[in-house]
Amino acid sequence: MSQTDTTETTANRTDDQGISTTAGETVETTRPEWTNYEAGGETKLAVDDLDVHYGDDHALKSVSMDIPEESVTALIGPSGCGKSTFLRCLNRMNDRIRAARVDGSVELDDEDIYQDGVDLVELRKRVGMVFQSPNPFPKSIRENVSYGPRKHGDIETGLLARLTGRAEPEREEDLVERSLERAALWEEVSDRLDDNALGLSGGQQQRLCIARCLAVDPEVILMDEPASALDPIATSKIEDLIEDLAQDYTVVVVTHSMQQAARVSDQTAVFLTGGELVEYDDTDKIFENPESQRVEDYISGKFG
């Protein structure tokens, strides 16, 4: 099921955070045909021939996939398969790891996010991330939500903001309410916005983190096992929220729970050990009739 091998030249790349450059190196890529699966909808993120090395460890091998906008894309696979590495490549979180080397391209709205001169702060505003464990700031609920927009100067902060000519900045209270509502948390916290966020339950903290992510008005939301630390009720609230968010945002979610991937996602990418994207297709196709026997064995629990 593999296409003819193609020989391609990896992109030259240097960036300000120490990712090494691979100049003119030639790599062999063998791409299974289903990784050329074309999902419905406009492509928001186009990943082409992405390789990641952590030192000598080849963590991702020549991954190519198009992620459509306004939908949920699930990334599944066993531990160490590279799915979280892949997710972190989508907003250059791997830049923080000095030993990491990234080759290939990731285009957000047709612009390569790895090209020189990309503003990482702006990129991470457009491509937000929610982590496995809820990690609110030890501040009030209100400040957790308004922290990002303040940093970006997107809310009214007084005379200076007005003098610098920012047009009609949103009032903080409006932004906090809007973000918390969008994260399905407003009704539970509207009467205690000045309480410390650490006093919320785990599920509420995770929705607060989603609200914090939404407050800076992202286009893509990356989620790394967002419900794995939560009980079933909190999990189902997060899952409902993910489906709801996909109406307006591009959501990419890494999950260890195959049932969660099946429940919430529109398309599913299966990574298997060795950093290989083995199959990428509509979620119902993956779970009802996958092309790859390895994927079939993995999702049926026949491995081992």
Partner 1 sequence: MPREDYRDSLDELERDVEAMADDVGDQLRHALDALERGDHDLAREVIDGDDRINQQYLDLESDCIDLIALQQPVASDLRFVAASFKILTDLERIGDLATNLARYALAGSPRIAPEVRVETIGEFASAQLGDAVDAYTRADPAACRDIADRDDELDAACQHASETVVRELIASETDRWDVEQLLDDVSRLLLTIRDLERVGDHAVNIAARTLYMSDGDPDLIY
**Min. distance of Cβ 301 from partner 1 in angstroms?**
5
- Evaluate whether 175 touches 152 at the Cβ level (below 8 Å): no
Q: HEC states along 2-19?
A: ECCCEEEECCCCCCCCCC
- Evaluate whether 97 touches 17 at the Cβ level (below 8 Å): no
232 binds partner 1 (CB under 8 A): no
247 binds partner 1 (CB under 8 A): no
Closer residue to partner 1, CB minimum distance, 117 or 301: 301
CA distance 162 to 110: 34
296 binds partner 1 (CB under 8 A): yes
289 binds partner 1 (CB under 8 A): yes
**Min. distance of Cβ 234 from partner 1 in angstroms?**
21
303 binds partner 1 (CB under 8 A): yes
Interacting positions 256-275 with partner 1 (CB under 8 A): 258-259, 262
Token pair listed for 142: 């209100």
**Min. distance of Cβ 280 from partner 1 in angstroms?**
15
Closer residue to partner 1, CB minimum distance, 14 or 300: 300
Interface region with partner 1, contact rule CB under 8 A, candidates 150-158, 177-185, 218-226, 283-291: 283-291
- Evaluate whether 171 touches 155 at the Cβ level (below 8 Å): yes
Distances (CA, A) of 278 to 144, 237, 246, 290: 39, 30, 25, 10
Closer residue to partner 1, CB minimum distance, 214 or 258: 258
- Per DSSP, the residues of 148-214 read HHHHHT-B--SHHHHHTT-SSPBPHHHHHHHHHHHTT-HHHHTT-TTSBGGGS-HHHHHHHHHHHHH
**Min. distance of Cβ 283 from partner 1 in angstroms?**
11
89 binds partner 1 (CB under 8 A): no
Interface region with partner 1, contact rule CB under 8 A, candidates 81-89, 124-132, 218-226, 295-303: 295-303
287 binds partner 1 (CB under 8 A): yes
Distances (CA, A) of 161 to 79, 88, 130, 150, 165: 46, 33, 29, 10, 7
Interface region with partner 1, contact rule CB under 8 A, candidates 6-14, 80-88, 115-123, 296-304: 296-304
Token pair listed for 46: 């186009």
Closer residue to partner 1, CB minimum distance, 28 or 288: 288
165 binds partner 1 (CB under 8 A): no
The residue assigned the tokens 């399905």 is 184
The residue assigned the tokens 């419900």 is 227
Closer residue to partner 1, CB minimum distance, 10 or 268: 268
Would you tell me which residues interact with partner 1 (CB under 8 A)?
Answer: 258-259, 262, 287-290, 295-296, 299-304
